[in-house]
């Protein structure tokens, strides 16, 4: 619950900051405001979504790295088990017994 509350507080602060910036820039534009407001909204929404995605990627980066490492190890283990349990070929049976034990 604490993380949810902290996350919501951070979200509200970020939105407040964006609204303040938007209002300041809209008043500075004067008569150009009706034309520039949609563009500013578009830029603000895109920047907010990009920052949100960056924060999510930062939180999940370690988990993704650990998952990739686990999958690599698992594939290697499957390859090793498959190589050990593979049935010997026909030519291998023709080799002398001491050579067969060594391999």
> Of all helices (H) and strands (E), which one includes residue 26?
helix 2-29
pLDDT tier for residue 91 given thresholds of 50, 70 and 90: low
Beta carbons within 8 Å of 21's beta carbon, 6+ residues apart = 44
19-72 confidence digits (pLDDT tens): 898 788 778 888 887 887 788 789 889 998 999 999 899 889 999 999 999 999
**Structure confidence at residue 1 (pLDDT):** 41
pTM over 0.75: no
Beta carbons within 8 Å of 41's beta carbon, 6+ residues apart = 22
- pLDDT, greater one: 72 or 7: 72
């Amino acid at each position: 619950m604490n993380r949810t509350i902290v996350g919501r507080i951070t979200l509200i602060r970020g939105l407040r900051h964006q609204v303040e910036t938007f209002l300041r820039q809209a008043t500075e534009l004067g008569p150009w405001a009706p034309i520039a407001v949609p563009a500013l909204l578009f830029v603000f929404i895109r920047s907010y979504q990009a920052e949100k995605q960056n924060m999510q990627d930062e939180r999940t980066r370690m988990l993704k790295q650990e998952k990739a490492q686990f999958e690599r190890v698992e594939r290697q283990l499957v390859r090793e088990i498959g190589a050990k349990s593979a049935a010997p070929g026909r030519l291998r049976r023709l080799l002398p017994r001491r050579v067969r034990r060594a391999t």
